[in-house]
Structure 1
Amino acid sequence: NAGQRYAVFGDRLVAPIKVSRFPGRDVAFNDFIARLQDTDVPYRVMFNIKPGGLNYNKMNSALATNGWFLSPSNNRPIKNTLSQLQEYVETKNGVVVGVSMMISTWAKLKSHVEVSSPSKEIIDFSEIQSRVATILARVKMWGGLRADNALMDPVEACLFCTSGLKQGHFADVTPVPLPNCVTFLPLDRPTMPWKSGTLLFRSPDGKIMPMEVMSTLQTAMLTLIYGPPRYGKSVAIGEFNFDFIIKPRASGELPLLKMIDVGPSGGGVINLLHGGLPPDLAHQAQHRTIKNTEAYCVNNFDTWLCERYPVSSQKTFLLNFLVSVCSSMRSYPSLQGMLNMAVDEVYQQTTDEGHNPRCKRYKRGLSPVLDDMISRANFSVTDGETTIWSLVDRFFDAGMISEAILAQRYAVPTLPDLASIFSNEGIRNAYPENVGTTNQPATSMVARAVREAIGAFPLISGVTQLDASEARVCVFDVKEIIKTPSGPDDFVTLQQNAICYLTMMNALLRDFFFDEASVSEVRSDRARDYHLQRARALTATEKMVVFDEKHVLKGAPGADEQLDYIIATGPKLKIGVLIGSQVLDDASQKSKELATSVVFCGAGEGDGVSRAASTFSISPRCQGILKRILAPSSKGAEMLMKNRTREKNDQYQHLFLSLGSNMLWAMASESEDRYVRDAVYRRVSAKVGRSKLSKAFPGGSVKSRLTAILETFEGGLSDERGQEILDGLVDEVCGQQ
């Protein structure tokens, strides 16, 4: 013992606290935790519950009944309460238990020896006294609870604070009806369906809440993440991506993760991977900034190796893409049928089957790369006569797979080939209608829409140049080719966004829907075994696709249809889907029905909460949480999460996502933070740079420092001076030891 208030155990000074009066009303234990969570005071709570609660108060009952006149104001309430408890037991067959409660806190034992009395050791009680005072002050607000730490035997009291060491009660026993007792016990604690996982959240009171990305507890992975700007949506998406990548796997390989992002934030995961991958595997993680030029061209008519025609999944995509291209004709009821017929016709025109004279022929100079490959392979060719498809087959038979893939890009149709198809007599006879105010033939109007797209978008109008097939983790930043619509009626921007977004989607996900069932559609016997081996390897690999800023596609023809196709076919192919958006109600009906997790990083201004509630059937209590969500702070990014398990149970949790400084700097999305980070990366390596940034600015941002600097300037700050300040911060970071 150290006096009558503290006990010494090893290198700890422990203070037991006895509760002498329980809360006067029903209060939740979570409220007890909430009152102490911001204090950093450690504590332990011990409840001791025994049957026969009325037996513990026989003395009080006798005194209150027989000596009520000695202190009527105190004894009458006691007598009435005990009478009510007795009646509860006798008439309602209720159960009254005896409950006592002990609290303990501790601090490191600190002592010193006085110079005047070397044999006398003086214990420093200041820290433990401060912690006890904090607990006593905070718990008093928990329903009027009364507690005290003046005890006769602190050591014995500490033993009663530890489960299983001592039987019986040390603190005063209070008779409580069992239903009321349950309300203030630590039984109703926040929890997640997962016992473990690499993605870690925290409850508002600090409890660790793990989540496993693409878990077997859910039928699939369709995660929707919503949040207004600067509310942590991009950081949350980055953390989901990173935890999917580092999830333990038997293969030891990187999983397949492909992402379309409108902005640079997705590159943070790539930088982290480059810091951990050996140099010979760095190409497996790529970040590309896409531009609307021929250098980034993707031909959406590409087929699988040696295949003259698309399989069903490719044709589904093509039709959705062409609907976007021809969205000006969306009111024409036969548009889908016409496009379907045109697609069939353009592939028949370019195949070499049946000695088709219209298939594409090799001409020297068509592609210097192709010329060089033919020369190195020592193939004999006749300029203008040898079909490119025959070169594809010869490359494949020689085991030159990369060369065969490159050659095939010149054999398949392109969008300009499709534009010419609509003048074919067969299509014109099948669709002879005149449409529009100009009363033009429907085929001419569709062909015109295709030609307009060819002129506006070089990235869809020729042979494929953009190749990220070697990357297992790949992020396309499409900010330079995507615009923000002015509203739901801005059909031109929505159409342009859909065309670009769908094209990048095809470039990234062409192989994701490649399974053994698809191989049955392969017409070429030559490559069937090759495709079967690839399909089996892909089917066994976990895959995840991420689409951020989906609101730029809201209402765009063809876009939702393709997303719904991915969502519907994803589960059987082990494809997880994550969609991020700033708009709460832009989810398609299918995504709302099939979503296994929905994360709300905030509702924004106006009627955001009511729109979220009507879209996802959120309860009034959760609406209140959503309404109070604030922008990220030192506690982390606040969010409301809904999870659905295989049992179809929907669980909502109020969570915080707290990341370390390293991760925050990797995911930084604010322009000032990115400028400083990228400048530091250029001076030192990304890995060393993040370490230096974390040391200089552990909060993951330079914003607070900039705010402090700006307050010293009157009348604003010029762009040049602002640049100098940012460069000064870069010098400060890089100058650290």
Structure 2
Amino acid sequence: MSIGFAISNMLNRVFKTNVLHYSQLETSSGEFNLVTRDGGLMTAFEIKGTFGIVGAEAFREQILSLVDGLSSGLSRPGYRLQFVFRRDPLNSKEALRRSISGAIYTLNQLNLDLEDMVKERGQLLEKKTVLETCHLIITTYPRAMHPDIRKEAVKERSEKAKVSGGLKPGVMSQSPSLELPGLEMLHSGFINQVISKLGEKLSIQKLEVHEYLLLIRKQITQFGTSDKWRAYLPGDSVPMRLIDEVPLDNDLSHVMWPDISHQLFSREPKIHEKDPTLVDIGDWCIAPIMVDQRPQEAKPFADLFASIDRDVPYQMSLVIESGHERVTQMISRKKTFASFVAFASSENKLIRDAAEYILDIAANDTLVSAQISFSTWGREIEETRRNRSKLKTAVEAWGQLQVVEERGDAIESWFNTLPGISATHLGTPIPLTVTEAMGMSPITRPVSPWADGTMLYRTIDEKAFPYLPGSTLQNANMELVFAPPGFGKSFYLAAANMGLITKPGNTILPRIGILDIGFSSAMFVDMVRDSLPAHMKHLAKSFRMEMDAKYAVNFFDTPLGCQRPLSVDREFVVNMLTLLATPAGRSEGITRLPELVSNLVDAMYDYFSEENNPNMYEPGIDPEVDAAMAAHNINVHSEVSWWKIVRVLHQQGLHHEAIQAQRFAVPTLNDATTVLSQASSISDVYGTAMVDNGQESIIDFLKTMIISAVNDYPILSQPTVFSLGDARIVSIDLMNVARDGSAQAEKKTGVMYMLGRQIICRDFYRKVDITLPEIPAEFRAYHKRVIEKDESIPKKFCMDEFHRTSKVQAVRSQAIVDIREGRKYNVHVSLLSQLLEDFDDNMVKLVNNIIILSKGISEMSLNEIRERFAPSEDAVKYMNRWLTGPGAEGSSMLYIGQLKSETSPKIEQVLRLTLGPTEIWAYSTTPTDVSLRKRMSDRIGLGNALRVLAKAYPRGSAQADIQKILSENAADLESDDDNLNLFDILADRVIKAHPELIDPTKMRVA
């Protein structure tokens, strides 16, 4: 029995009747290494790609740098590099799956009914992106060792194996004793040399052995394998089987880890019965092809990539075998033979000349042996053949290569394209210099540093580029966004804010505040509010600021119990008061005014503190406070300060009422003139200081400006009335209080931006370890609870239309403070402008994300982008070509980003933001589309309206229909109801056409 099995097993190995006989994978050794059947070591890496745009010159420099570092290692024998690149349009959803599912999970956690919109985005991007992967397998074979050392290592291994059942205790299991002693040192040394050099230019990740084997199994099964699948390897529990798999008395296969090959293949591949050049693996057909000759001219991989049709799936394997001397010896032998018979044939002379050419190159460059193979696939045989034909045509044009479809065994040819499986490759070994080999390798594809993200961009050539707002890969999330009108700025901001909302890990809504001039951001907030359940709709609010008493906000307010501002808040108060004290239209500073204002701010809080001149409580000023005191039997004498009331209410746990009371305890702008007149600390220092060449004292000047401000801005000079309440997603429209035109209007705009900033993010800049030491001890427990609730939650402050503040330095100074301090408090800051000059050098230095949505309207604009943001020349070329405004493919932008690590290269990619029709309709600011959306929302609710509009107008706009109706069918629009117009009638038509999309439970309640 055993003799028969041995003979049968030997014949099976010769004729390769089982997947076990194709694979060189034996077992694992530690966390990252696999052992080959001949005792070698193998380690897998994912080459994610390059963060920058690689043009011709950058590519040349990159390859020369790699060659310089890799040539010495590749000159020695015994090492193999296998680059495996896969591009798979049939499985594009794999690149998006985790990002989409993560966003949907977060939406469910937040009770946001936006799952359909996120799924729609995923379905759209499945059609517009292609899955790409690239892996590097580094193998060190026993022949890398000196022959004498190898001989001793084999002997040592044999001795150790004797005490553990032999080298192969189970025919159908793994052999944990096969690794050659001493080889690991050579292997790790070679890896360090290769990866340290590649890592200078590329993003690379070492794969743990289970990750690597899952990768192979997914490629074998065309991603029909769960992410939870895990191979059994030494260190894992042994899956014992109650079956004798091998008819040998001493075989231990059933009580050891199963052979890796049998774990990788759930079914045996077979030669296709209709075409012996194809492999049949059940639901799929695989077509392998091999490169048969050296290219006439080695071309970069990018040339091949660009020439292959987008719809053709393919996998490429480039195997590089080290050993310069062995390659040159083989070429020399062929040259010698060709010289010997040259008199008989002119072709032999050509062979000799070709060999001499390569040997001449070898004098200055390291030679390696390379084998290149490809595979493509399809569900049907004809589809697979078509894909093979297209792939073959492209490969043959890549440097004039010769290609064969199959040589010997199609299964083994396919295995040659899988990462690390094959010990022997069937493709013809061709001599290449290291320069040529690295140039042909697929290592310069763009990549995102984020494996998954809630912002899903795509590169120009359709690779998914996820971005995760607020990730740990960056120190902070500070961004500048440049775009002229009509270039997608509003769409970008809405999508970015949605990305922050859906960030995995959010269990409550993040805090997002948007300052805007116009309604665009309000539409985003309305969409969020409409998507929340009834009991949570108050968490999303949009406001239009008016110069009305009901919007009164006292920028001198302090946190509960604090009689003086926190240091981060004090900086804002000084900036705000300095702005109010600066005459409209004045660009240059006023000598000593900032110092005086700073002293005045401190003096005001001192003056109205409890120990000095506190404001006294008066019943009837705040009925809510009076009612709370009465309900809790809080009796006070007639002469009691508001600060005392604050403390008593706090002690009763009436924190809301205590906050209300404190609004009357703190100073207001109205009080500033009183303090200026009475504070000796100010008059002693500034009493003789003058402004305007001695025409007026600086104290009188400041008094005059404050009196003017009180008159001009009544909402700033009284206790706070306006509050966001519990709202977490907020938009404030400054349209009615921020006008263009005169210097006075520009100043007013700046003041309103500052006020809006205070309303939105006054509480953003809080952190337990920074804030609590500044809080009075009695109030720390309360503030600790409040701060901890939001401390780990992302907070974002957006200033849209930032160009409207260009003449107001105080706003810009405050923006820089917010950016500088934001990192400590987990606050994201986004500044969006139509003008490049709005972003000064300090801002550019402080932010780590820059979004450029337009190349500008002239060469001058392009030069200004160069000077301000310093993009590479390759980036400028891409930007000039692709940044042409929103279109059918979405909005294109140049993204410049910086990771946390200072050694990480700058991220620089031209990306596309492509949204689904629902999102486009939700974020649209086109007047006609906004009018139609509003009419429909008023009738059937925003969610229903977006669903119907997305179905009726999947391109995100009804403008074409509206114009057509106006020009061709005006008579049809006549109505007996004079109150109906075009948009009412069109809304009625669209709603009637799609009743099945309307959810009655989400109709707007009057």
TM range (shorter): 0.7 to 0.9
Which deviates more, 293-302 or 95-104?
95-104
Task: Mark the CA change 1:273 to 1:65 in structure 2 (over 3 Å): closer, same or farther.
Answer: farther
Counterpart in the other structure of 1:450: 706
Distance, in Å, in 2 between the alignment partners of 1:380 and 1:217 is 56
Q: SS at 2:838's partner residue?
A: coil
CA displacement at 1:177 relative to structure 2? 1.7
**Following TM superposition, by how much is the alpha carbon of 1:302 offset from its aligned partner in structure 2, in angstroms?**
0.9
For residues 308 and 179 of structure 1, the distance between their equivalents in structure 2, rounded to whole angstroms, comes to 70
Identify the residue that residue 592 of structure 2 maps to in structure 1. Answer: 334
Q: CA 1:409 to 1:425, structure 2 compared with 1: closer, same or farther past 3 Å?
A: closer
Are 2:302 and 1:30 aligned?
Answer: yes
**Hey, what does 1:439 align to over in structure 2?**
695
Q: What is the Cα deviation at residue 462 of structure 1?
A: 2.1
**Separation (CA, whole Å) in 2 of partners of 1:209 and 1:537:** 32
Amino acid at match of 1:642: I
Classify the secondary structure of the residue corresponding to 2:774. Answer: coil
Residues 629-660 of structure 1: per-residue CA shift (max 9 Å, x gap): 22233333222222222321323223222333
Which residues in structure 2 correspond to 1:374-523 (within 5 Å)?
374-377=629-632, 379-380=634-635, 386-424=640-678, 426=680, 427=682, 430-436=686-692, 439-484=695-740, 491-515=743-767, 516-522=769-775
Cα distance in 2, alignment partners of residues 239 and 341 from structure 1: 43
Amino acid at match of 1:696: A
Deviation per residue, 1:582-618 (Å, 9 max, x gap): 2334224333222222222223212222222212222
Which whole-Å CA distance do the structure 1 matches of 2:578 and 2:301 have between them? 57
Q: Deviations over 1:277-332 (max 9, x none)?
A: 44333322333232332222211011122333223222211110011112227532
2:401, 2:570 → 1: CA distance? 69
1:639 maps to which of 889, 893, 899:
893
**2:333, 2:952 → 1: CA distance?**
65
Match for 2:378 among 94, 107, 110? 107
Alignment partner of 2:441: what SS? coil
Find 1:210's aligned residue among 451, 456, 466: 466
Partner of 2:516: 261
SS at match of 1:638: strand
SS at match of 1:46: strand
Comparing 292-301 with 338-347, greater Cα deviation is found at 338-347
- Residues in 2 aligned to 1:28 and 1:213: alpha-carbon distance in whole angstroms: 34
Structure 1 segment 534-545 matched on structure 2, within 5 A: 534-545=786-797
Show the counterpart of 2:866.
Answer: 613
CA 1:31–1:337: 2 relative to 1, 3 Å: same
Kindly provide the CA deviation profile for residues 237-258 of structure 1, in whole angstroms up to 9, marking residues without a partner as x.
3233222222222x72333333
Gaps of 5+ in 1: 110-122
What residue number does 1:571 align with? 823
Structure 1 residue 83 corresponds to structure 2 residue 349: no
Name the aligned partner's letter for residue 728 of structure 1.
Answer: L
Distance 1:444 1:378 in 2: 47
- Confirm or deny: 8 A CA contact 1:255 1:543 kept in the other structure: yes
Aligned in 2, Cα 1:192/1:387: closer, same or farther, shift over 3 Å? same
Residue in structure 1 matched with residue 934 of structure 2 by the alignment = 678
Q: Is the 8 A contact 2:556 2:573 kept in 1?
A: yes
Deviation at 1:505, TM superposition (A): 1.0
SS of match in other structure, 1:287:
strand
Evaluate the alpha carbon distance shift between residue 689 and residue 20 of structure 1 in structure 2; reply closer, same or farther with a 3 A threshold: farther
Aligned to 1:700: 956
Q: How does 1:218-229 map to 2 (within 5 A)?
A: 218-229=474-485
Distance change in 2, residues 1:201/1:81 (3 Å): farther
SS of the equivalent of 2:816 reads helix
1:333 partner amino acid:
T
Range moving further from structure 2, 510-519 or 297-306: 510-519
TM-score (norm 1): 0.84
Percent identical among aligned pairs is 24
Read off the aligned partner of 1:572 and give its amino acid letter. K
1:274 and 2:529 are equivalent in the alignment: yes
Aligned residue for 1:43? 314
- Greater relative contact order (Cα < 8 A, sep 6+): 1
Counterpart of 2:529, as a letter, is H
> Cα distance 1:209–1:666, how it changes in 2: closer, same or farther (>3 A)?
same
Closer/same/farther in 2, CA of residues 722 and 42 from structure 1, 3 Å limit: farther
Choose the corresponding residue for 2:547, options 283, 292, 309: 292
Contact 2:803 2:834 (C-alpha < 8 Å) held by counterparts: yes
Q: Structure 2 vs 1, CA of residues 182 and 333 (structure 1 numbering), >3 Å: closer, same or farther? A: same
Alpha-carbon deviation of 1:220? 2.4
The answer (yes or no) to whether the contact 2:320–2:368 under 8 Å persists in 1 is no
Answer yes or no: is 1:94 the counterpart of 2:373.
no
**In the alignment, is the contact (CA less than 8 A) between 1:676 and 1:730 conserved in 2?**
no
Distance 2:570 2:595 in 1: 13
Aligned equivalents of 2:402, 2:935: Cα separation in 1:
57
Q: What is residue 925 of structure 2 aligned with on the other side?
A: 669
CA contact (8 A) 1:19 1:103 kept: no
The code of the aligned residue for 1:626 comes to M
8 Å contact kept, 2:373–2:416: no
Deviations 1:185-212 (A, max 9, x none): 1122212223333333222222222332
Q: Secondary structure at the match of 2:520?
A: coil
CA distance in 2, matches of 1:70, 1:711: 84
Q: Return the offset for 1:667.
A: 2.6
Counterparts of 1:419 and 1:608, CA distance in 2: 47
Amino acid at match of 1:258: G
Query: What SS does the aligned partner of 1:260 have?
Result: strand
Equivalent pair of 1:157/1:170 in contact (CA under 8 Å): yes
**Normalising by the residue count of structure 2, what TM-score does the alignment of the two structures yield?**
0.63
- 1:266 partner SS: helix
**2:511 and 2:729 in contact (8 A); partners too:** yes
Amino acid at match of 1:638: S
Paired amino acid for 1:332: I
Q: Distance in 2 between matches of 1:103 and 1:254?
A: 47
Please tell me the residue identity of whatever aligns with 2:773.
S
Superposition deviation, residue 3 in structure 1: 4.8
- CA distance 1:332–1:202, shift in 2 (3 Å): same
CA contact (8 A) 2:603 2:679 kept: no
**Which residue in the other structure is 1:562 paired with?**
814
Distance 1:93 1:603 in 2: 42
Q: Structure 2: where are the runs of 5+ without partners?
A: 1-271, 997-1006
Q: Report SS of the residue matched to 1:467.
A: coil
Equivalent AA in structure 2 for residue 690 of structure 1: L
Pick which of 637-646 and 722-731 moved more.
722-731
Q: Counterpart of 1:114?
A: none
Is the 2:365–2:433 contact (alpha carbons within 8 Å) kept by the matching residues of 1?
no
Q: Deviations over 1:170-189 (max 9, x none)?
A: 55554322211211211222
Q: Distance in 1 between matches of 2:420 and 2:558?
A: 69
Describe the superposition over 1:679-717 as per-residue Cα deviations: whole angstroms up to 9, x where unpaired.
332222333333223322333333455566678699xx9
- Assess, with a 3 A threshold, how the Cα gap between structure 1 residues 155 and 519 changes in structure 2: closer, same or farther: closer
Distance in 2 (alpha carbons) for counterparts of 1:32 and 1:726: 54
Q: For residues 203-238 of structure 1, what are the alpha-carbon distances to aligned partners after superposition, in whole Å with 9 as ceiling and x for unaligned? A: 222222233222222222222222222323332332
CA shift, 1:101, in A, is 3.1
CA–CA separation in structure 1 for the residues paired with 2:733 and 2:342? 80
Q: What is the CA-CA distance between 1:97 and the residue it aligns to?
A: 2.0
2:912 matched to 1:660? no
Alignment CA distance shift 1:507-1:170 (3 Å): same
Counterpart CA distance in 1 for 2:779 and 2:401 is: 77
Deviation at 1:401, TM superposition (A): 1.2
